[in-house]
Structure 1
Amino acid sequence: MIVWTKAARRNWSVLERSGYRFARDKREAFARRKRATIKLRVGAVPCGRGVAGAAAKSDEFREPPDVRRHPELSAIPAEIRRAACAFHEAGHIIIGWHHERYVTHAWLRPPFGFTGETCFEPYQRGFQTERLADLRRAEVEVTILSAGHCGEMIYWNEGEGLRWYPGAIHSHDDDLEQMRPYIAFLRPVDEAALLARCAKAAAAILYQPPMLAAQKAIAKTLFERRRIDRDEIDDILRPAASG
């Protein structure tokens, strides 16, 4: 709670009046620029993105930043890339849930839904190299981070995904970066062998038939609503795990 003195209240009133005029001028200038930008965008439907004309928000007309780095992605329809991202996050969710890393929620980032985020409850204590349990926890984290790529490749290897597969995907780069602290903590003799082992462990779980069905259900919710919460994840995964 903020407590205001009389003098502060009086000074704030003067600042508020002058600030209001300044803010109003800024808002009006911004509105004029926005109207001009919208006029430029009218009728300009970008190629190969699957944008639904007038129903799409104006943000959908902007070029995704990763297309500049990887132009081959521009040929893939937006709904295909969004579905691949949903499967990617579903991979993280399932392996995290399997290892009792409780998910608070996952979402596809606006405006395109081509990247996402899976959020877990934080650990209650840190990592210490002398504790074997902490070494195991660090390897589990690498496995969970590996699961995004494994989950996404399930999508690209069948149906519409297979038809549009670009030949290489770069959505795993962020996961690899997040692995660095855990790899440094583990100090493996052979880093490539560690990464291969963790990816294999993730794939072994994801390719179980009940988990394949659960992944599709989670990805469907993410694709349609751009978000999934803990209760919905539990409702999908509990029957899959018991089956």
Structure 2
Amino acid sequence: MKKKLMTLVLCAGLTFAAPFGCLAAEEAPAEAAGEETPAETESAAAEAAEVGAYGITDAQQEALVESVKTSVKEGFLDLYQIAETDFQLTPYSMEDAANYEQDGTYTGEDPYESARMWQAIEDAILEADDIGVFMNTALAVGMDRTELADMIVEMKDPAFEEDMDTQAHKNGHWYDTITGEKYDLANSIYTGIAKYLNGLSSEERAQVLAGLYDTFVGANEDVQDVNGNYLSTLTLFDKVICENIQF
């Protein structure tokens, strides 16, 4: 009788434990495979979306640079049959901006006249639906990049013409002195920027504009050129592109 009772108890115990043994066996491979928990996934996503040194995320930076690379290759390098290894973009600098005479004659050594070229690109960007007015106003009242982005979305949703010719009629100060090869380079850079920005949602576009503006323009004092015009020491997109574009 005792043997029968013991046998029943053991059988019952095995029957009760079996489902849990199966569950443990099913869960073990998942844990062994190193699957991320929801908390880990959320943390990784937040880290990936962090703003970097240029005021935008790594993903935004990569997409912007790739758009410009494609446009520069098609609209400039291929057009003038320039080898990719022979090409290097030069960032805007006030030192080069000082190499212009009162009549606009360039006396420096930069073949692309980068100071003038980048200023033309910035003019085209900031003139899109007068977005530059909003940005300059934001700086004057001490807005941070989040507030500036909100203002851009609420007040106007800038659409960027994908050719500087359409902007040239608004402001001829820089455009009328950029011709031939230099213009085609500036135009291809601007086109790449415009295509990237136009492919974003309103909120994403505003965040990119505000982040770059706050980082490269808002943090620097304005200085005067030879004609007494105030120019920012860094333009809106030149640094992130020049420091990262590689063919």
Q: TM-score, normalised by structure 2?
A: 0.28
Whose RCO is larger (CA < 8 A, sep 6+)? 2
